[in-house]
Amino acid sequence: MISIQQFTFNPVRENTYILFDETKECVIIDPGMYDGEEQTAFANFIKEKGLKPVLLLNTHCHYDHVFGNKFVYDTWGLKPQFHKGELYVLQAIPGYVPQMGLRYEMSPEPEVFLPESGKISFGNSQLEIIFAPGHSPAHLCFYAAADNFLIGGDVLFYYSIGRTDLPGGNHLQLINSIKNNLFILPDDCVVYPGHGQSTSIGFEKAHNPYLG
C-alpha cells in the first residue's frame, strides 16, 4: 500500500508529493520547495520516516513544480524524469522567472525521459503513466491502480481545470485529455492535484463547470 505525504510550497502554493510503501523506498513528485525552511521541512520528513528516495518525477516543467529539482539532486543524487516534450519548458525558466522577482536554482536535465504510457516501479508498488497534455505540452499524470489515486499535476482541480494561457497550453487538448484519459478512471479515484484540495473523478464528472 502506498502512503502519500503532501507539502504545499513556494509563493504559488504548489503541492509537492512523496509516495512511499512498506519497503521505505519513495518517489518525489513535483518538488516545489523554494527556500531553506521548506527544504529543511521536506528533508526532515524523509529522514524521520527513514525513507530512501529512488525517483524524482515531474508531471510537467512549469517553474513552481521544479523549484526543488536541484535540491533533490544535490541531496539524494536524483535527476528528474518527465516526458521529453517538457524539456523546452524547463529550459525556458531562467528566461522569465527572474522577471517575476523569484530565485531559481537550475534544475538538472533528465538522463531518462518518460513515455506517454507505461509503468513506473518503486519498492513493491507501481504507478501507471497517463499522458494528459493541454495545460502544458506533454503533461503526465501518475495513477496508482492498487490504491486508486491519481497524482494529477495541473490538469484537473477541485471544481476547476488547469489554465491554458501559458506557452504550450491548449484548452481543447486539455478538455480532451481529461475526458478521454482521466474520466475513464474509477469514479472513486482520489485526485491529488498540483494546487488546492484533493477531489475525485466522480465528483468532477458530475460537478466540474468546465466539463459539462
* H or E stretch covering 75: helix 69-76
pTM here is 0.97
Domain ranges of the chain: 3-207
What pLDDT score does 59 carry? 98
Contacts of 107 (CB under 8 A, 6+ apart): 66, 69, 70, 73, 80, 90, 93
Read off the amino acid at residue 88: Y
Average pLDDT of the chain, as a whole number: 97
CA 54, chain centre distance (Å): 16
Cell of 9: 510550497
CATH number belonging to domain 3-207: 3.60.15.10
Integer angstrom CA distances of residue 58 from 77, 81, 141, 202: 15, 6, 9, 25
Sign of the dihedral through C-alpha 63, 7, 31, 164: negative
What mean pLDDT comes out for the span 112-134?
Answer: 98
pLDDT digits (tens, 9 = 90+) for 171-202: 999 999 999 999 999 999 999 999 999 999 99
Sign of the dihedral through C-alpha 114, 187, 194, 8: negative
Contacts of 176 (CB under 8 A, 6+ apart): 134
What pLDDT score does 212 carry? 80
Cell of 65: 513544480
pLDDT digits (tens, 9 = 90+) for 20-45: 999 999 999 999 999 999 999 999 99
pLDDT digits (tens, 9 = 90+) for 149-160: 999 999 999 999
What are the phi and psi torsion angles at 211 (to 5°)?
Answer: -125, 25
pLDDT interval class at 115 (50, 70, 90): very high
What mean pLDDT comes out for the span 122-149?
Answer: 98
Q: Which residues pair with 17 in a beta bridge?
A: 6, 29
Using the 8-state DSSP alphabet, how is residue 179 labeled? I
